[in-house]
Each structure stands twice: as structure tokens, then as C-alpha cells.
Amino acid sequence: ETGVTQSPTHLIKTRGQQVTLRCSSQSGHNTVSWYQQALGQGPQFIFQYYREEENGRGNFPPRFSGLQFPNYSSELNVNALELDDSALYLCASSSFPSNRGDTGELFFGEGSRLTVL
Amino acid sequence: DAKTTQPPSMDCAEGRAANLPCNHSTISGNEYVYWYRQIHSQGPQYIIHGLKNNETNEMASLIITEDRKSSTLILPHATLRDTAVYYCIVRRAPIQGAQKLVFGQGTRLTINP
């Protein structure tokens, strides 16, 4: 167990709908990242939040957006869902800046599996 | 971040050492080699990382070649629970920049009884 919890674990939406996924980071971690993992592929970086602001983004369109709250928990919002958005969405937390001597590892949750019909 | 190349799949007998190779020929001087694994239906799990020296922890050993263009992850006594997809990732030091990881396809390691 990493201490990173995500909800819901599974959900089904239809094309054009909107979805919100939630993540509680590990205690003491101030940075949250989101990843999309399509079936049979490695996770792809969506974006990262630090101090409630997005401070790094991958190659995803603006309909993917997020929030980070003062308690460092986070939400991922996806608007106008498309069939290709079907994937496992992973949240990861870490501390930034890291202390020297930290492994720099990210702690991942078990993900939210989204199916778009 | 430098790109990595891994074999798509490998098999290993239970109790034997599993040696997983990774090529990262474009790695730059300030980039580390990280290994994560993903057991079915779970999130990726950190295993080990290194810069240029060989590293060992309770989970595995990491051997990095002198020119740093390739590395090998060693699971010394593989068990059935080590069956997973193993990802080799090259990234900048964690104190610099965003916490982005670039995952490739990884190696699907199957431990056979």
C-alpha cells in the first residue's frame, strides 16, 4: 500500500459526457501527477500539480484539466469524453522539492478504470 | 528525457535470477536510471534507481555499464509474485524540475513454477 487512494475504482460513461476522478496523496506529499494508461501501453503523463497550480503538462488537450486542493488532494476532470479516453487513470504523489537522499520515487495509487461507450 | 529500449517479454524459472536488460544510449550526464514495475491491476511500484554506480536494495540490484548506455535489473531469487511488467525509465534528478516519468512499453516478466 502506497497511501495514495483513488476514487472511483471503476466507472462507465458515454461519449460526450464529463468525468471527475479523485486522488488523495500520501501524507506529507505536496505534488500530485496524473497518468493515463491505455490497455497494453505504459502510463502517459498528463500533468502535475504543485501548490495548487499546474506546473507540468504532457501532450493532452485542454479538455483534460485538474485541481489541487490545500490538503494536496487532487481531481482530474475530462470533458467531452471520447471513446479513446477509455483507460486506467493513475494518480501519483511525491514531495517537491525532494530532499537530498530521497529516492525521488513516485507513489502510485491503484487507479480509476474509465470506460467510455 | 532519454528514450529506453527493453525486450517486450521474458520468462524466468522460480528461484532463479531474473536479469532484465535496458538500453538508454542517449542518456545524458545528469539523468538517472529508474526501474518501476506494475503488477496486474495495480499502480506502478518503484524498485530502484542509480546514476553510474551499481546499486542494491532489498528488492533488486541495478548494474549500469561504465558508458551508462545500458543497464540490467537483477531480481536475485525470482518468485511468482515478481510476475509483472518492468519499466526502465531515464529521468533527471528528482530535485530538478517536474516529477514526470516517461514510460515505454516495458518488459513483461513471467516467473514460471
Q: Could you report the per-residue pLDDT of A28-66, keeping only the tens digit for each?
A: 888 899 999 999 999 999 999 988 899 889 999 999 999
Q: Specify the pLDDT at position A50.
A: 87
Distance in angstroms (rounded) separating the CA atoms of residues B53 and B37 = 21
Distance in angstroms (rounded) separating the CA atoms of residues B16 and B36 = 20
Distance in angstroms (rounded) separating the CA atoms of residues A30 and A108 = 14
Least Cα distance to A7 among A75, A57, A63 occurs for: A75
Cα–Cα distance list, B20 to A16, A52, B101 (Å): 42, 38, 19
**pLDDT level of residue A110 (50, 70, 90 thresholds):** very high
DSSP tag of A109: -
Distance in angstroms (rounded) separating the CA atoms of residues B2 and A56 = 18
Residue A111 is nearest to which of B34, B43, B46, comparing CB atoms?
B43
First to last CA, chain B: 37
**pLDDT for A109 beyond 70:** yes
Q: Which residue of A has its CA nearest to B48?
A: A103
Name residue, grid cell 531480481.
B75
Residue B46 is nearest to which of A42, A106, A109, comparing CB atoms?
A106
Q: Specify the pLDDT at position A59.
A: 94
B27 contacts B69 by C-beta, under 8 angstroms: yes
Mean pLDDT score across all residues of chain A: 91
Q: Specify the pLDDT at position A55.
A: 86
Q: Specify the pLDDT at position B55.
A: 95
Taking CB atoms and an 8 Å limit, are A105 and B41 in contact across chains?
Answer: no
Taking CB atoms and an 8 Å limit, are B43 and A109 in contact across chains?
Answer: yes
- The beta strands (E) that lie in chain A are given as 5-7, 10-13, 19-24, 31-37, 44-50, 53-57, 64-68, 74-78, 87-94, 107-108, 112-116
Q: Specify the pLDDT at position B94.
A: 61
Over residues A70-88, mean pLDDT: 96
Print pLDDT tens along chain B (113 aa).
Answer: 668 999 999 999 999 999 999 999 999 888 899 999 999 889 999 999 999 989 999 999 999 999 999 999 999 999 999 999 999 999 887 654 467 899 999 999 999 99
**pLDDT for A101 beyond 60:** no
DSSP tag of B8: S
- The beta strands (E) that lie in chain B are given as 9-13, 18-23, 31-38, 45-50, 55-56, 61-64, 70-75, 84-92, 107-112
Q: Closest Cα of chain A to B105: distance in Å?
A: 5
Residue B42 is nearest to which of A43, A94, A110, comparing CB atoms?
A110
DSSP tag of A80: S
Q: Specify the pLDDT at position B41.
A: 80
- Number of A/B CB contacts below 8 angstroms equals 70
